[in-house]
Amino acid sequence: MVVQRVKTDIESNSQGKEEVMRQALLNPVMIDRELCKRSLYYFLQYFWDTVSPHQFKGNWHIEYLCTELEKIAGKVGRREPCGQDLIINVPPGTSKTITCSIMFPIWCWIAGWEWMRFITASYSGVLALQSADFSRELMRSPKFKELFPEIVIRDDKDTKSNFGIIKKEYTNPGRAPKITTGGSRYSTSVGGTLMGFHGDILIVDDPLNPTQAASDVELANANHWMEQTLPTRKTDKDVTPIILIMQRLHQDDPSGHIITKQDNTVRHICFPGEIRNYRSKVRPVEAVEFYKDDLLDPTRLSWSVLKKLESRLGQYGYAGQIGQDPTPPGGGMFKVDHFQMEQEMPHPSKILSTVRYWDKAGTQGAGAYTVGVKMCKLTSGHWLVLDVKRGRWSTNERERIIKETADADGYDVDIWMEQEPGSGGKESAESSIRGLAGYRVYAERPTGEKEFRADPYSVQVNNGSVILLRGLWNYDFIEEHRFFPYSTYKDQVDAAGGAFQKLLGKKEVQVY
């Protein structure tokens, strides 16, 4: 498509055709140089191997985004009012960072706008600096120097966080080149300092990660920075655009926060990973015709890949990051009729590992329950809930029951317990651990809302992969799941979700 466009342009201008043909005969590299200058998508493909060890995999959505970015750069280059900022919502793993954060600024410089200044940001300073460093490596590569020897990083301004460029023009053979001071790239984290810096184009790539999105404080900080700090760093308030690229993580993430204002100052591009379930989220709507087998990118995100992602991300994570529809799970989060039932304990050879997870409460007679869920992982890939201890006990009685339960379970069962915030929660956890001397016992401080933590577990329940051993505890256990997170009590779901996570091997927690 790009090559044909250039060919058409050349044929429509006989003088241009003759000049390009002459240059091509003298130096065939000039053709690639011209194609790169005219097309960000071609530039992306040509220099892909300088920033990635993997083979380039083209797809329509990448070319679409490149075209949109070209339009924005053209307006800024002509100093025209931008009219709208740009929000791009696409799933992870779709080459958005290489396209928008690594390649795009360099392409603007080689396309004739070497004066442009960029500010780029991400949720992590390390991530923002990494993208900037990839850009510097590309510009230092022999491949780039062969095509664009005139665009060079300044010796006196060459760091990951802040580097500038110059343009060398050899107007007189045998003489030193004319040096023109060019643009720059300043990289920071969302929430980081921007004092003293202004940009002609501002790029924010993933302002939040999934963990931060579960925190009201982190959400508020990111939204405040996007609204109050970043816009003040525009070189020209009418011309400079903000480009926000991210997968959706929360209803009130920066994308949602901006879009819900429903004004005309934002262009929204939204490409869910699949449209079998998320067709209504596609923006612009006509892009639906480019999906194949209801998939955005059958090569990167096939149905088998998406199924694995759903198991890892959970319903909420999948809906947000893949579907670009982060609707919080409501009642009915668990399809309780998908629980399987088992009458007898499986043979020990079929059990890979077993844990007992305690969600402790200190209230006796009313309020929350103390719950200990015993769960094992089977060789079949299923998860078996073996037993649930549940009651409203005084502190001393609770500790006695936890110890008696550990003695009954045996030393092969790992014990985990949820630690409440504050010094009181830490002291309570330490007390329980001392009372369980000789056992493998751990404590953790969970983060985020209970429904977020239960989400990966709910996927396995809904897929029919969770089995319950028949017992008197079954009814209350199932009913709490049926109405979660609007059930009166949430302790059994919380403990079951905690046990599942430990069996899954996710132990990113404090261990005593």
Cis, peptide link before residue 485, omega less than 30° from 0? yes
Separation between Cα atoms, residue 407 and residue 202, nearest integer Å: 60
pTM over the 0.75 mark = no
For residue 328, what pLDDT is reported? 58
Band (16; pLDDT cuts 50, 70, 90): low
CA neighbor of 35 nearest in space, from 70, 68, 5: 5
* pLDDT above 90 as % of the chain: 72
Question: In sequence order, which ranges of 121-229 are alpha helices (DSSP H)?
Answer: 125-140, 142-147, 210-213, 216-224
CA neighbor of 323 nearest in space, from 312, 333, 334, 310: 310
Band (505; pLDDT cuts 50, 70, 90): confident
**SS3 state at 492:** helix
pLDDT of 510 over the 50 cut: no
Cα dihedral across residues 8, 14, 16, 22: positive or negative: positive
pLDDT in tens, 246-288: 999 988 899 999 988 767 889 999 999 999 989 999 999 999 9
Distance of CA 62 to the CA centre of its chain: 18
* Class of residue 457 by CB neighbours under 10 A (exposed 0-12, middle 13-18, buried 19+): buried
Band (10; pLDDT cuts 50, 70, 90): very low
Cα dihedral across residues 418, 422, 428, 430: positive or negative: positive
For residue 497, what pLDDT is reported? 95
For residue 361, what pLDDT is reported? 83
pLDDT of 7 over the 70 cut: no
The secondary structure of 14-62 as a DSSP string is HHHHHHHHHHHHH-THHHHHHHHHH-HHHHHHHTGGGT-SSPP---HHH
Greater confidence (411 vs 175) lies with 411
CA neighbor of 91 nearest in space, from 51, 59, 47, 134: 59
Locate 260 and state its tokens: 């819900």
Domains by residue range for the chain, with CATH: 39-321 (3.40.50), 336-504 (3.30.420.240)
pLDDT in tens, 309-362: 988 888 788 889 999 998 755 567 899 999 999 999 999 999 999 999 999 985
For residue 509, what pLDDT is reported? 33
Q: Are 311 and 460 in contact (CB under 8 A)?
A: yes
Separation between Cα atoms, residue 56 and residue 75, nearest integer Å: 29
For residue 211, what pLDDT is reported? 85
Cis, peptide link before residue 284, omega less than 30° from 0? yes
Locate 104 and state its tokens: 């795009």
Band (436; pLDDT cuts 50, 70, 90): very high
**Most distant CA atoms of the chain, gap in Å:** 93
For residue 27, what pLDDT is reported? 74
Locate 385 and state its tokens: 């809930």
DSSP state of 280: G
Locate 345 and state its tokens: 């304990």
For the chain, count helices (H), then strands (E).
18, 15
CA neighbor of 420 nearest in space, from 345, 487, 359: 359
For residue 20, what pLDDT is reported? 58
Separation between Cα atoms, residue 252 and residue 306, nearest integer Å: 24
pLDDT of 218 over the 80 cut: yes
Q: Between the CA of residue 233 and those of 76, 191, 200, 202, 240, what are the distances in Å? A: 15, 13, 9, 8, 9
Contacts of 291 (CB under 8 A, 6+ apart): 275
In this structure, are strands 117-122 and 178-189 parallel, antiparallel, or unpaired?
parallel
For residue 81, what pLDDT is reported? 94
Q: Are 315 and 485 in contact (CB under 8 A)?
A: no
pLDDT of 398 over the 80 cut: yes
For residue 170, what pLDDT is reported? 80
**Count of residues for the chain?**
512
Separation between Cα atoms, residue 393 and residue 115, nearest integer Å: 70
pLDDT of 511 over the 80 cut: no
Band (373; pLDDT cuts 50, 70, 90): very high
Q: In degrees rounded to 5, what are phi and psi of residue 365?
A: 95, -25
pLDDT in tens, 440-493: 999 998 877 788 889 899 999 999 999 999 999 999 999 899 888 877 788 999
pLDDT in tens, 89-139: 999 999 999 999 999 999 999 999 999 999 999 999 999 999 999 999 999
For residue 200, what pLDDT is reported? 98
For residue 23, what pLDDT is reported? 62
Band (374; pLDDT cuts 50, 70, 90): very high
DSSP state of 346: P
For residue 326, what pLDDT is reported? 86
pLDDT in tens, 154-212: 999 999 999 999 999 887 777 888 899 999 999 999 999 898 899 999 999 999 998 88
pLDDT of 512 over the 50 cut: no
pLDDT in tens, 231-243: 999 999 999 999 9
Separation between Cα atoms, residue 471 and residue 469, nearest integer Å: 6
